[in-house]
A = this chain, B = another copy of it.
Amino acid sequence: MKTIPILIVVVCAVVATAQQPSPPKLNLMPMPASVKFQNERLPVDTNFRVATRGHSDARLEAGIWRFIKRLEGRTVLTLPPTLAPDDQTTPLIVNCQGPGKNIPAVTEDETYHIDITRRQAMLSAPTVVGALRGLETLLQLLDADRNGYFFPGVQIDDQPRFPWRGLLIDVARHFETMEVLKRNLDGMAAVKLNVFHWHLTEDQGFRVESKKFPKLHQLGSDGNYYTQEQVKEIIAYARERGIRVVPEFDMPGHSTSWLVGHPELGSAPGPYTIERRPGIFEPALDPTREEVYKFLDTFLGEMAALFPDEYLHIGGDENEGKQWDRNPAIQEFMKKKGIKDNHALQAYFNTRLLKILQKHGKKMIGWDEILQPELPKDIVIQSWRGTAALAEAARKGYDGILSNGYYIDLIQPASQHYVADPLPADSTLTPEEAKHVLGGEATMWAEWVTPETIDSRIWPRTAAIAERLWSPRTVNDVPDMYRRLAVISLQLEELGLTHKRNQEMMLRRLVRNEDIGPLRTLVSVIEPVKEYRRYQQRPQTMLSQLTGVVDAALPDSETARKFSWMVTEFLNDGPRYQLYRPELSQMLADWQSAGASLSPVIDRSPALKEIKPLAQNLTQLGSTGLEAISYLKLGIPPPRDWREQSLAKVEEAAKPYGALEFVVISGVKQLVNAAAEVKR
C-alpha cells in the first residue's frame, strides 16, 4: 500500500461510538474508554508474528501464546512458532513496562494503549495485566473481508472505570468441575473481569479440602470438593490471566455442611446432614463459645495460607438467628455481655472474626449484614441490597462493591443488568466518597445450575455486566450492547464455553431424536420464570438432575427481542403495514405449526409432558398474531368481541408451565390492540 495513513475520525468519548456508530462498527466489549479510527489496516497473514519490548516474563509470554493460538484458531492460519525480534517489520509489538503486582491485587494498573497502523500494531501497558487486557481487545478487533484477515487502524486508550470487577460462582449448591472453572476464567479474562469470587461453602456443601479439619470436606461434600492442589491450580490459572481469587467461607449462617462433620460448632446439638433443599436454613455457628474461635483461627489460618489474595470473604448473610434464640446458653451469654439482639451478637462474632483475619494477614469482605460501626475502614462491603446501601457505606468510609442488579441466577435480561450501575449518574457521593465504590460482581448462585448448564446462565449476559464495570458510564446504548453481545457470545465459545452448544444436545436428549425443530421453536420464545419462582412452581432438590426444558431454555431470548422489534416497526409503518410483514407472518406461522407438531413429540417423551400447555399456547399465540396482521393488512375491523376474546387467549398463554413462560406476550397484545383499532 502506498497511501499515507490519514487520521480521518477523531472520537474521544466513546458515547459517540455507541450512540452514533462511527464508520467501522467495532465489536468490542467492554467498550474501551477511547477509540480513534485511522483509515488503514494491518493484515494478519501467515507472516504475523509478535515481539516483546521492555519487560517480559513467563506470564506475558504465555498470554501472547494464548493470543496467537486463538488468532490461529479463528483464521485457520499456521503462524510462526517463535516470537519475533523487536524491529520495524514485526507486525505486533507488546511493549510492557514492568511486571505489575506479583499477586493480582485491587490496586493493579490495568491500563493499556493500542496503536495500529498499516505497518505495525503497538500494544503498550505499564503492567503485564494491562498488556493481557490489551491482547483481549486485539482479538476482538480482528476483522476480515475478501482480502483477508486484518486489524483495523485504531488508537485505543483504555483503563477500567472500577478496579473490582468480579464473578461469583457458587460451587457449593451444585459442584462445578475444574474444567468449568477454567473455561469460565477464560471467559472472564476475555471480557476483562478481574475477580473470581469462589463461594466455597454453603448449607448444601463444603467444597474445599481442609487438612486441619478433614471432616469438613469429607463429610460435608459428598466427595465433591477441590483438593488444595486443585485450589492452587485454579489460583495459578487465574493469576496467569490477571484475575484475583477471593474465597468465601460463609459464616455464621449458611453453614449446615460444616456442622455435618463438626456438630460441636453449631448453635444446636445436631446431628446435621447436608442440606438438599434451596432456601435459608437455621443452622449457625455458635458465636459464644471460645472453641469455635479456636477452630476458626486454625481453619482460616489454613485457608489464608492457601489463598494469596489480600481479601477473604466471610459471607455473613441471611443468618436469622433462630438457633440462637432457642439456645439458653447463648441467651445467657448475651445477657451477661449486654448484647441486645442477634444483630449485635453477629457483630460481636464479626469483630472476633476480624481479629483472626488480621492475625493471618487478611482484609475482611462480607455481605451488607456485616456493616457495623466497630469494624475498621479497610473492610469491603458486598451489597446485595443496592446502591443506596453502598452509598451509605461509602459515606461512612467503607469500601464496597455492588451485586444487587447483577444476580444472574434470576434469569433477567442483559439489558436489566446493564443499567445497574455501582455509581449511578444521580449519585450524591462526593468524588472522595465515590472512590470507596470499588466495583461490582455478578453472582452465579447455583441452586439450578450444573456443569452442563452453568455457562448458559453466566454467558453472554455477564459480558454486559463486565462492560458496565469497565467502560465509561456513558456507554449505555442498549441496542448496540446487544449487537456486540451477539458477536462476543460466539467468540466466548472458542474458549470452550458451552452456553450455545449444549442447548441442542439437551433438546435432543429430551425429544430422544435428532429432529428438535418444533421444540427449538418453542424454546426460542420461552424463558425460565424469573427471580425465585422456579422452585415454587417446580420443586426439585440439589440432588435432582437439571435436564428439563426449563434447564435447556435460555435467559434473554434473542428471538423474543427480534419479535418485539419487528412488531414495533410493523405497527409504526401503519397504515401500510409492509415493514417486516413477511418475516413477522412467517414467525407466527412457525409458532402455529410448531405447537401442533409438538404433540406427537411430547407423547413419545414423558419428560416433555409439563410443556404440553405451552405447546398449545404457542399455536394460539401464532394464530392470534396472524389474525391481527390479517385485519391490519386488509384494513378490515375485527368483530366486536374479537379484541376481548383474543386478549383473554393471550392472557391465558401468559401463564407459566413447567416454570417456563412466554416472553412474546406483549408483542402479540400490541398486534391485537392495533388490529382492534382498525376502522372501516
Contacts and interface: CB of A to CB of B under 8 A. Distances in A.
Given A502-B501, A504-B504, A607 B75 contact: yes
Given A179-B179, A502-B501, A145 B603 contact: yes
A148 B498 CA distance: 30
Contact of A545 (B72, B501, B510): B72
Contacts of A513: 490
A186 to B, nearest CB: 14
Given A69-B545, A144-B512, A501 B494 contact: no
A363 interface: no
A382 B145 CA distance: 50
Contact of A606 (B144, B486, B545): B144
Nearest to A547: B73
A430 interface: no
Interface residues of A, number: 48
A494 B510 CA distance: 11
Nearest to A142: B512
A425 interface: no
A639 interface: no
Copies in the complex: 2
Contacts of A144: 512, 604-606
B509 A540 contact: no
A74 interface: yes
A265 to B, nearest CB: 26
Interface string A482-509: 0000110010011000101110110011
A504 B505 contact: no
B148 A606 contact: yes
B78 A603 contact: no
A328 interface: no
A635 interface: no
A146 interface: yes
A149 B543 CA distance: 20
Contact of A486 (B504, B509, B514, B544): B514
A541 interface: yes
A4 interface: no
A373 interface: no
A431 interface: no
Contact of A543 (B81, B543, B604): B81
Given A81-B543, A501-B501, A505-B501, A75 B606 contact: yes
B508 A490 contact: yes
A509 B177 CA distance: 25
A545 B144 CA distance: 18
Interface string A504-530: 110011101110000000000000000
Contacts of A78: 540-541, 543-545
Interface in A569-625: 602-607
A548 interface: yes
Contacts of A540: 78
A76 interface: yes
A615 B285 CA distance: 67
A141 to B, nearest CB: 13
A15 to B, nearest CB: 27
Contacts of A81: 276, 543
B490 A512 contact: yes
Nearest to A502: B501
Given A72-B545, A81-B276, 11 more contacts: A73-B545, A75-B606, A75-B607, A78-B541, A81-B543, A144-B512, A145-B603, A148-B606, A493-B505, A493-B508, A501-B501
12 contacts: A69-B545, A74-B547, A74-B607, A75-B606, A76-B545, A76-B548, A76-B607, A146-B604, A149-B606, A486-B514, A487-B512, A500-B508
